[in-house]
Amino acid sequence: MTLLLDSFWRAMLDCLRPRVMLLSLAPLLLTAVLSYLLGSLYWDASLAWVRASLEASSIVSLVSGWMQTMGLSGVTAFLAPLIVIFAVMPAVVVLSLLSVALLMTPALTSMVAAKRFPALQRREGGSLALGLIWALFSTLLALLALVISIPLWFIPPLILVLPPLIWGWLTYRVMAFDALASHASHEERRELFRRHRLRLLGIGVFCGYLGAAPSVIWASGVLFAAAFVVLVPLGIWLYTWVFALSSAWFAHYCLAALQALRDERQELKPPVIHALPSDHDARLHPPPDL
């Protein structure tokens, strides 16, 4: 628990540094540009399709008619943007996570290593290609779990548990791998994952709950259309910052755990005893004359 809290506060301080703030602009720009391009291409068509589907629904028509009798109208116009936004939110989350993992995590890990663990040997147990394959495979598994779990979201408590748990698992898999890629060997990484799996998953789930804040901002952008242009980029930046925090947190935690593992193994090594030369060896190999 001490390592968990110590690495959290160190990560918080790192994420408030100007250098880290500047680093977060690269994933933000990438995610914002892609979101803008996809939105300009598909927003109107998606919104029209969702509105048509809602208007064709008998349940929505019943609720809309009941609310109109109470003086409230425009239920379809209110629900359609929310549905579209919550439908594309997983794609934005995954894009933010992968962009941070590729553009920020190596720099943050190098910064943490140089500052706290300058003597920690690099054993290069992972490469960029292996990390990318690992991230894409983990993302596919997380999206599959997300789709399978959608029917359970209609059970009120589970919607507050399942999505953050899935995003937390994905964050833990991607960020922990990247944090150990340069310094740990393949065997060391597997051992650290085995020993610290629950704590690493806890870090990911906690950051998954932090990731709910941008969703609230996006929903506010729908309610306050005049601020939509400002609130949506702010929400995307918050996604980026939350993943940057998790990246720094995993870097501090994993490198400290790796250092502790190597210290433990060094202590368990039997001491090397150098045998003294026997009298027979001394006679065969007399010392040189001085």
Helix residue ranges, H only, 150-161: 156-159
pLDDT in tens, 121-168: 998 887 778 888 888 899 899 889 988 988 887 776 777 788 878 888
Q: Give this prediction's pTM.
A: 0.73
- What's the pLDDT at 124? 83
pLDDT, greater one: 84 or 186: 186
For 168, the token pair is 């937390």
By C-alpha distance, which of 212, 208, 215, 245 is closest to 232?
Answer: 215
Calpha distance 207→268 (Å, rounded): 36
Q: Which of 60-64, 111-115, 251-255, 256-260 has the lowest mean pLDDT?
A: 60-64
Element (H, E) at 63: helix 58-69
Angle at 273 between CA 267 and CA 279, to 5 degrees: 175
How many C-beta neighbours within 10 Å does residue 139 have? 17
Q: Is the pLDDT of residue 116 over 70?
A: yes
Cα 91 to its chain centre, rounded Å, is 14
